[in-house]
């Protein structure tokens, strides 16, 4: 399995990182993709390694970390994202839940991330919280046929999911699809598995039956099991489909 969205580099894992890796390998995780939160994230990612797991880095600025954009922000981000070791741009997006103080700056940042993703032909990772209309509107503005990526932690409506897919995006399916009263499972059932990838968002959003605990890559098996139940297929088929989707999107061998 490929965990397409994990913040495994955060200090939340410092005390038992090796054990977390071992459990990931035992659960069938072979690849972990790491979106950045800010420019300092890359240094945290650099030290990660474990036999049996491939780690891949992304560069970007999380919308909750956007305040005033410094002069030269876009050029610096372009330089970071152009490195051959960086496989994606983000995470970026919009978040109106935690604060509406810097909405203009969030939008400017998202536009910049989109321009860079198109220029270097790498996928972009979209964070969305209570901002769906604005987010998809910006993607529509930026889409020239070359923009691609993932709507991370998808929890929209069927119509919003179809709109994102029509705009060239995959849907990142994580722990929220397992929540009993969340309704995401019913939405996902109406959307194509061939446009979905698996993710954890570790250490956040643990799936049932681990809800309320620190999330980790090994827990992605519960999401795969839920998707198998939703689509009436085997867990193996879910893993094969979502793995190929991720490999194709990120050009992974």
What digits encode the pLDDT tens for the residues 10-61?
999 999 999 999 999 999 999 999 999 999 999 999 999 999 999 999 999 9
Structure confidence by residue, pLDDT tens digits, 81-132: 999 999 999 999 999 998 788 999 999 999 999 999 999 999 999 999 999 9
pTM of the predicted model, to two decimals? Answer: 0.97
The domains of the chain, with CATH numbers, are 2-250 (3.20.20.140)
Distances from the Cα of 132 to the Cα of 25, 59, 65, 80, 170, angstroms:
35, 23, 19, 27, 15
- For the sheet with 149-151, list strands across it: 2-3, 31-34, 54-59, 86-95, 124-129, 149-151, 169-173, 196-198
Neighbours of 48 (CB within 10 A): 16
């Amino acid at each position: 399995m490929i965990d397409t969205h994990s913040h495994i580099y955060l200090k939340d894992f410092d005390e038992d990182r090796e054990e977390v890796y071992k459990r990931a390998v035992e659960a069938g995780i072979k690849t972990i993709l790491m979106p950045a939160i800010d420019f300092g994230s890359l240094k945290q990612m650099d030290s990660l390694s474990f036999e049996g797991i491939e780690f891949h880095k992304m560069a970007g600025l999380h919308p909750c970390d956007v305040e005033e954009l410094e002069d030269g922000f876009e050029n610096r981000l372009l330089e970071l994202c152009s490195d051959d070791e960086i496989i994606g741009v983000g995470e970026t997006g919009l978040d109106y839940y935690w604060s509406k103080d810097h909405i203009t700056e969030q939008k400017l940042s998202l536009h910049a991330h989109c321009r860079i993703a198109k220029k270097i032909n790498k996928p972009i990772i979209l964070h969305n919280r209570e901002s769906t209309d604005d987010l998809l509107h910006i993607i529509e503005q930026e889409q020239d046929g070359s923009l691609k990526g993932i709507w991370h932690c998808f929890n929209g409506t069927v119509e919003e999911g179809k709109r994102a897919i029509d705009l060239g995006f995959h849907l990142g399916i994580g722990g929220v699809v397992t929540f009993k009263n969340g309704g995401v499972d019913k939405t996902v059932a109406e959307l194509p598995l061939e446009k979905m990838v698996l993710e954890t968002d570790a250490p956040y959003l643990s799936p049932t039956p681990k809800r309320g605990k620190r999330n980790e890559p090994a827990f992605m098996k519960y999401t795969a099991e839920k998707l198998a139940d939703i689509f009436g297929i085997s867990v193996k088929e879910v893993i094969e489909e979502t793995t190929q989707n991720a490999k194709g999107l990120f050009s992974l061998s």
